[in-house]
Structure 1
């Protein structure tokens, strides 16, 4: 699936999460909405045309940012590193290494963090990416 179809008039999981990220802070999403088997993490992974390797790469880059924030509590430094991640993901998408629909979702997530700049926003986004990695594992 390419992340652009509509099924029964409803947005696919990528579009639904992007829309919700435009309308509310990532910190306002409940654990159930994000982590439940019927939640965003699993639905996005199931719908996105992204490999587990690609997803882990994005997660590892984001994890390094969060680890730095946890260590030095420097939100501005974390934001600077996040801005660099935008560029890296754009480069990977243009090379065809990263699915463009997934890149767009990550940009919406990062935009949400920027808009609601806080350590909690970084932590919640980290949790979402971690759940996506977990759901991407083959059973």
Structure 2
């Protein structure tokens, strides 16, 4: 994660659906995956399968949530029905990770509307600059 430390992830957690199956169903390549029971390079063993699609950091010039959402939303928007159908088999979340000393966080109305349509929860993870939120379980 870049030093200004804000990122949006679309996360799928599943007990019985593999990351490969999720990729096939959603039709997008994830930013990262973790397999249930398989040690991760950064440490830890996930208790569930994780499939993560992050807003592309290289395209984001600043920590503006709206800019990042504008890059992630079109990928999800075109797959609303598929994602909504998955909800019965997996846990779906949008996770916003940011420094807790960042002055404010405003969720764009378009984010709330799309998450509602997909049946996806929004979680906000605040962390200290010394923490690396990508290393823990999402």
Under a length normalisation based on structure 2, what TM-score does the superposition of the two structures give? Answer: 0.32
- Larger RCO (alpha carbons 8 Å, 6+ apart): 1
Which structure carries more helix by proportion? 1
Q: Which has the higher strand share?
A: 2
Could you state the TM-score of these two structures normalised by the residue count of structure 1?
Answer: 0.32
